[in-house]
Amino acid sequence: MRYALVVAGSLLIAGGALAAGPVPQGNLILIGGGDKPRDAMEKFVALAGGPHAKIVAIPTASEEADAGEYYVKLFKQEFGCTDVTFLPIKTKADAMRPELAQLAANAGGIFFGGGDQVRITSAILGTPVGAAIAAAFARGAVIGGTSAGTACQSDPMITGEGDFKVIRPGAVELKPGFGFFRGVIVDQHFIKRQRENRLFTVVLEHPTMLGVGIDEATAVWVRPDGTFTVLGDGSVMVIDASAAKLTRPLAGGGPIGARGVAVQLLVRGETFDLGTRKVVRGREVGTAAAPAGRALDGRSRRGGAPRS
């Protein structure tokens, strides 16, 4: 089955993060799902203005009735926050409510929970709440997310629908996202759930954009200057196809062939510059070494063919 690509720009009122105009002053703290790294959550609270700042949780992605209360409890009990609320948004009609838009507009930190990212964008894009979130981010509020709450931060957004066993044109469904993670297509639960195929597919179809795959228990801290630093315990994969050459046209169907795709695998403390597409600070510990007694071509230094 061939899946249609939906790559129209974000409908976010007041301009998405990719629209022309000043660069938003807010930071992003985006978690790949699973356990929430403490250093990432503490950084989110600090960037929001500290434990007394106004923090708003958006549990729209979840089907659980108590998801909003869960995030309020998490921030209050685990991180000492004193001014936490959640927006009870399930539908676009909910996101039209002016009092909810006002809560978002006044927040120092806005955190999107996990679940299904399509629920988030279907309810919030093109609404007063969506406009308020964009305005808060533009003035300097921090936006955080985990799992689906991370997926919705790029534009286009990977929905979770498609054929992920192949790297073929049209195999991954995309829809408009918020576009706060500028110039990037983001994926989550990345290494844990072996989602390399789908991110390679969409990056090869959109080579001007970087693919950023964030593993579970891992986060990226994205700054207004266009750099991000890895937090947490896992890794982040960056896929850059800007200099790649396709060996067969996308319109021809069949597997995508390409040469010159650059891949970086980053861990805690390493920083990547989205503008230069390079690691700017990192812990280089040398080249990967062959196992003891074995050369890099897989043959034993004592001679003979490699063992399978």
Mean pLDDT value across residues 152-167: 96
SS3 content of the chain, % helix, strand, coil (to 5): 25, 25, 50
- Confidence bin at 292 (pLDDT 50/70/90): very low
Q: How many CB atoms lie within 10 A of CB 18?
A: 18
How much is the pLDDT for 251? Answer: 85
How much is the pLDDT for 286? Answer: 52
Q: Helices 117-124 and 128-139: crossing angle, nearest 10°?
A: 100
Q: Judge whether residue 304 has pLDDT over 50.
A: no
How much is the pLDDT for 3? Answer: 31
Is the peptide bond prior to 156 cis by the omega test (within 30 degrees of 0)?
A: yes
Q: Which of 57, 183, 172, 188 is nearest to 117 (CA)?
A: 188
- Confidence bin at 22 (pLDDT 50/70/90): confident
Q: Judge whether residue 215 has pLDDT over 70.
A: yes
Q: Beta 109-112 vs 142-146: how paired, if at all?
A: parallel
Helix (H/G/I), strand (E/B), else coil: 122: helix
Query: Mean pLDDT across the chain, nearest whole number?
Result: 88
- Confidence bin at 285 (pLDDT 50/70/90): low
How much is the pLDDT for 143? Answer: 98
In this structure, what token pair is assigned to residue 291? 């196992």
How much is the pLDDT for 253? Answer: 78
CB-count burial class (<10 Å; 0-12, 13-18, 19+) for 80? exposed
How much is the pLDDT for 249? Answer: 82
CB-count burial class (<10 Å; 0-12, 13-18, 19+) for 122? middle
Mean pLDDT value across residues 117-129: 98
Quote the pTM value.
0.86
User: What are the pLDDT digits (tens) for 248-274?
Assistant: 889 877 899 999 999 999 999 999 999
How much is the pLDDT for 248? Answer: 85
Q: Which of 16, 19, 12, 17 is nearest to 125 (CA)?
A: 12
Can you give the C-alpha Rg of the chain in angstroms? 20
- Confidence bin at 290 (pLDDT 50/70/90): very low
Which class is 28-281 in CATH? alpha beta
